[in-house]
Amino acid sequence: MITENEIREAVKSCLVEAGTTYRRDQFDAYERAIGAEKETYCRWVLEQILENGRIAKEEQLPLCDDTGIPHVIIEVGEECELPKKWLAAIKVGIADGLRQLPGRPMAVLGNDIERVEQSHGLDDDPAGLAPAPFITRSVEGSQLKLTVLMLGGGPEIRAKTRRIFHRRSIRNVLGEAASWLKEEVGSLGCTPTIIAMGIGRSQVEASALMLEAMAKGRLDRQNELETFVTAEINDTHVGPLGLGGHTTALGCFLRIGPARASGVRIVSARPCCLVEPRRGTVTLG
Amino acid sequence: MIRLETPLTVEQTDSMQIGDQFEIFGRVLCGRDAVLPRIIRCIRKGDPGVEKLELVGAVIFHTAVSPAGIGPTTSNKAEIEESIPELAAAGVRIHLGKGSLGRETIKSLAANHSIFAVTPPLTALFSHRITATEVLAYPEEGMEALFAIKVEGLPGIVAAAHGRNIFNK
């Protein structure tokens, strides 16, 4: 049986990996983007991003000082045997990871009102940062798969979850969601973005699907719909860091869930920043 | 690549154009939403403590300073952007952050021989270029206190100068 300690160590490693390490498909996408840009300063921005990624990976340093809010996706096999305190082990693993990264100590102290007004100071301990509520999925098999995502503040300001009248056209849905994001990527600052998008039946479900898209998406495996969204965003010519150019979006991660009989789909769309999606995944058992 | 050593002169920022790439060497102030409005209130009150901040010729980087490192926050957040005109008038020569600024803010920069520059969030790379860090004021704000750091080659690109804006070329 999987042990509490294995879960704790795995979550810690996933969090540190998420905060410090671009995946191979991200490095390759940046290399391609450098080749596509003509303007010297756009190329320079992309080269600096790559260099930052190499240093962060080699020295296990945070990619960005906004190290993000931990979000955990748990996929539990139907035959998986878990120790009694497995959820507590995930929480401790997150705290360990935040101290090791180190995460930015940005948890706001105080009661409800003091936290909203940020009037009672910050917690000095990076581990004071509580994770978002966990998302749990039941899957076939006997394994436990854990994904830790670290979500930065900038994209959260600009993400949207809203209804779209689909008019029996996926292009209509994606086009309208892309139009929201076109308004946002110019003020994101940290472009190139990767668009994460979930389509579901409720605000919560669409947001969860968007998060799962961030957890599963790959830049070297883009389907026709994802390529369509990417092209729409690149049409803005916001470019790296908003300086203009071809590369506003490196790609799109799209996840479509169940639908209900209705003329409406609920879409959650998030313009991830240039260090995202920051994720680490491990399978136990 | 233009080499800039702080404190900066009016002539240095007047000679810079949008798109110019530079590296900063020397002292850089670091502050964001929490402390920039507090500095503005001190300037308006004529608080003598403002002189100790050495704003004339300064660079202000819109960032927190934490064990995780430094990296630009969005400069068009209300409390940051609203502080820029008065900080420019007080002698700050470069406001370093990310994102675009409004037309009125860009006009105020031009009127005060000040420029806005952007830099990517290169936290791992920046960590190699910081040689010293000190809290200057408002320690109760934690990572959002006003810091002074010493840097060797902090990079940036001029995004607004002389009333022109790289985002709306």
| B47 in Cβ contact with B82 (< 8 Å) | no
pLDDT tens for each residue of A122-154: 999 999 999 999 999 999 999 999 999 999 999
- Considering only alpha carbons, which residue of chain A is nearest residue B19? A41
Instruction: Please indicate if any CB of chain B lies within 8 Å of the CB of A100.
Output: no
| Residue numbers in B near A122 (CB within 8 A) | 141-144
Are B124 and A61 an interchain contact pair (Cβ–Cβ within 8 Å)? yes
pLDDT tens for each residue of A174-227: 999 999 999 999 888 899 999 999 999 999 999 999 999 999 999 999 999 999
Are A66 and B121 an interchain contact pair (Cβ–Cβ within 8 Å)? yes
- Considering only alpha carbons, which residue of chain A is nearest residue B127? A61
Taking each helix axis from N to C end, the angle separating A24-36 and A40-59, rounded to the nearest 10 degrees, works out to 160
Predicted confidence at residue A70, as pLDDT, reads: 98
What does the radius of gyration of chain B's CA atoms come to, in whole angstroms? 14
Q: In the Cβ-directed half-sphere of A64, how many Cα atoms lie within 13 Å?
A: 24
Question: How far apart, in Å, are the Cα atoms of A26 and each of A2, A50, A220, A228?
Answer: 32, 9, 9, 19
Interface of A with B in 254-273 (CB under 8 A): 273
Closest partner CB to A189 (pick from B74, B143, B144): B74
Residue B168, pLDDT > 80, answer no
Predicted confidence at residue B169, as pLDDT, reads: 60
pLDDT tens for each residue of B6-15: 999 999 999 9
pTM, rounded to two decimals: 0.93
Buried/exposed code over B54-90 (b: 16+ C-beta within 10 A; e: otherwise): ebebbbbbbbbbbbbbbbbbbbbbeebbebbbbbbeb
Whose tokens are 């042990």? That residue is A3
What percent of chain A shows pLDDT beyond 90? 95
| Residue numbers in B near A109 (CB within 8 A) | none
Which candidate in A21, A44, A65, A117 is best for mutational testing of the B interface (most B CBs within 10 A)? A65
pLDDT tens for each residue of B103-123: 999 999 999 999 999 999 999
ipTM, 2 dp: 0.91
Helices in chain B by DSSP H: which ranges?
A: 10-14, 36-45, 78-81, 84-89, 103-111, 123-127
Which pLDDT band, with edges at 50, 70 and 90, does A4 fall under?
very high
Question: How far apart, in Å, are the Cα atoms of A170 and each of A23, A159, A266?
Answer: 30, 20, 12
- In eight-state DSSP terms, residue A78 is T
Predicted confidence at residue A186, as pLDDT, reads: 87
Average pLDDT estimate for B70-91: 96
Instruction: Please indicate if any CB of chain B lies within 8 Å of the CB of A132.
Output: no
Which pLDDT band, with edges at 50, 70 and 90, does B167 fall under?
confident
